[in-house]
Structure 1
Amino acid sequence: MTTARDLVRRRLLAALALIGLCGFVALGVWQLERRVWKLDLIARVDARIHAAPVPLAAVDRAAPPGEIEYRRVRVTGTYLQGRDTLVQAVTERGSGFWVLSPLRTQAGTVLINRGFVAGERGSVRAPVPGGIVTVTGLIRLTEPGGGFLRANDATADRWYSRDVAAIAKARVLGPVAPFFIDADASPDRNATPIGGLTVVRFQNTHLIYALTWFALAGLCGFAALRILRAPDVT
């Protein structure tokens, strides 16, 4: 016969299962909301990437970083000679370096990621164009700290991420824009560095997570139903 203690235990288990059901449903709904946000973000970034370039001076630098990243811009200035920075890179073309060069403009200095060069440190050759140049590319956010599980070492001139502030300090550039620009590919297919290698990829697994949470909610609901409908043992 079912005792009062068994009945309390059964009700407690059913209550826990129902709490789990509510919690997992809430998580599933949250993931669906995150999916809507992510799809909107992807659409907005895709529109920026394929939009016509605007003058860099027209970009509101006080805007939130997420609103200016991947905007296509155009900037004119003169490269500062002898101030290049090589940053470790792994691309679809193999391992090598990004070549970051400071461009002096009427509005100040901005770092330009001129593109990728293969080779070993010390053997890389990436001549800096002289005179006035116009660069078209995508705004990218600074990457402080380092990468490849290694910290940037300004003293040894070893860079594993495109940390704008640290590079500006190491190259004594003074005030610079708080972002850098990934230059577009050059019309000359043999030109180096190789521009236009920006990878834009957003992980969007929210639907999978949502289905997982809803499945767990279903299991909790099924368990609660079985517990509540379990016959009394006499």
Structure 2
Amino acid sequence: MNSIPDRKGGGRGFGFRPGYPLTCVTAVMLCALVALGTWQVERLHWKEDLIARAEEGIEGQPVPLPALADEDPNWRDLDFRRVSVSGRFIVGNAFGFQVSTRGELVGGDLVVPMLLDDGRVILVDLGWLAETDLPPASIVPFVPAGQVALDGVARFVGDIRPGYLTPSPDLIKRRWFDWHIPAMSDVTGLSLLPVIVDVDQRSALAVDGKPMGIANRPQPRSLSIDYPNNHLGYALTWYGLAVGLVVIYTMMGFKRGAS
């Protein structure tokens, strides 16, 4: 008569036994990864709303530049808002900004300080000119004299500081390669506001109450929203790591259960 083998204590078991320490560590890491992913989703919604409001601001009607103190944090809210200003250009403090090309021509933007009617000074980016027309060459043909009223898109640049790879300004050629309001104020001797006005293709410009045509004017830029929005990729990365962590935890649990 054949006997039935006693399997008690024999062979290898099969089950899920990850252990208490591994479970605790995995739970903490999983909560952290899910929280980071959820935070990036929230940031995604915030950035999408910010971009939508910026697009509306560019297309909206101009509003007068508010009378805010230089250090007022509300300047940030004007970023990508269409504003109107009135005053006189300070031609002697104009400078070229960055280096770019139009077709085969090399040039940059012409930036001119404007003394506003209330005594404040703001930088106005009038648009692109060929290198030979930028300061230190005479810009008189390109900058209207008299009382100027214009609208453009405000950009908050008060917190920009040039990076290590940004070239230093060439003060002899009067060329700057990034915004740096404190340094620009020191060089020009003007107390500059922390926002600039970009004259774009929709901007209107009048001199002494008369509309000015586009002849002899710098080429206006076509503005685009430059807010970085990588939050979806970051969220997927964190959630993907969370899924990977669960897979590894499950495999290790079954491996230990089979040992």
TM-score (norm 2): 0.73
Tell me, what secondary structure is at the counterpart of 1:87?
strand
Residue type of the partner of 1:205? Answer: N
Counterpart CA distance in 2 for 1:51 and 1:184 is 13
Residue 37 of structure 2 contacts residue 239 of structure 2 at CA under 8 Å; is this kept in 1?
yes
TM-superposed deviation, 1:60: 4.2
* C-alpha spacing 1:221/1:98, structure 2 compared with 1 (3 Å): same
For structure 1, list consecutive stretches of 5 or more residues without a partner in the other structure: 2-7
Number of equivalenced pairs: 226
Spell out, residue by residue over 1:98-134, the C-alpha distance to the aligned partner (whole angstroms, 9 max, x if none).
2111212211222111111132566866432111111
Tell me, what secondary structure is at the counterpart of 1:137?
strand
Counterpart CA distance in 1 for 2:254 and 2:21 is 14
> Quick check: 1:86 aligned with 2:96?
yes
Tell me, what secondary structure is at the counterpart of 1:23?
helix
> Quick check: 1:179 aligned with 2:191?
no
Residue type of the partner of 2:94? Answer: D
> Identity of aligned pairs, percent?
29
Q: What corresponds to 1:118 in structure 2?
A: 130
For structure 2, list consecutive stretches of 5 or more residues without a partner in the other structure: 1-8, 10-16, 205-212
TM-superposed deviation, 1:192: 3.3
- Equivalent of residue 213 in structure 1, options 238, 251, 257: 238
> Quick check: 1:102 aligned with 2:113?
yes
Residue 18 of structure 1 contacts residue 224 of structure 1 at CA under 8 Å; is this kept in 2?
no
Which structure has the bigger radius of gyration? 2
Q: What corresponds to 1:196 in structure 2?
A: 221
Q: What corresponds to 2:75 in structure 1?
A: 65
Counterpart CA distance in 1 for 2:218 and 2:176 is 17
- Equivalent of residue 46 in structure 2, options 19, 37, 43: 37
Counterpart CA distance in 2 for 1:168 and 1:197 is 27
Moved more, 202-211 or 221-230: 221-230
Counterpart CA distance in 2 for 1:151 and 1:9 is 58
Residue 75 of structure 2 contacts residue 194 of structure 2 at CA under 8 Å; is this kept in 1?
no
- Equivalent of residue 129 in structure 1, options 144, 157, 169: 144
* C-alpha spacing 1:153/1:97, structure 2 compared with 1 (3 Å): same
CA RMSD, 1 decimal: 3.1
Counterpart CA distance in 1 for 2:55 and 2:178 is 24
Q: What corresponds to 1:164 in structure 2?
A: 181
Residue type of the partner of 2:195? Answer: F
Residue 33 of structure 2 contacts residue 242 of structure 2 at CA under 8 Å; is this kept in 1?
yes
Q: What corresponds to 2:59 in structure 1?
A: 50
TM-superposed deviation, 1:29: 0.7
Tell me, what secondary structure is at the counterpart of 2:242?
helix
Counterpart CA distance in 2 for 1:170 and 1:123 is 15
Q: What corresponds to 2:14 in structure 1?
A: none
* C-alpha spacing 1:63/1:122, structure 2 compared with 1 (3 Å): closer
> Quick check: 1:75 aligned with 2:85?
yes
Tell me, what secondary structure is at the counterpart of 1:151?
coil
Residue type of the partner of 1:152? Answer: P
TM-superposed deviation, 1:191: 4.1
Counterpart CA distance in 1 for 2:219 and 2:180 is 20
* C-alpha spacing 1:47/1:142, structure 2 compared with 1 (3 Å): same
Moved more, 106-115 or 164-173: 164-173
Counterpart CA distance in 2 for 1:59 and 1:44 is 22
Q: What corresponds to 1:5 in structure 2?
A: none
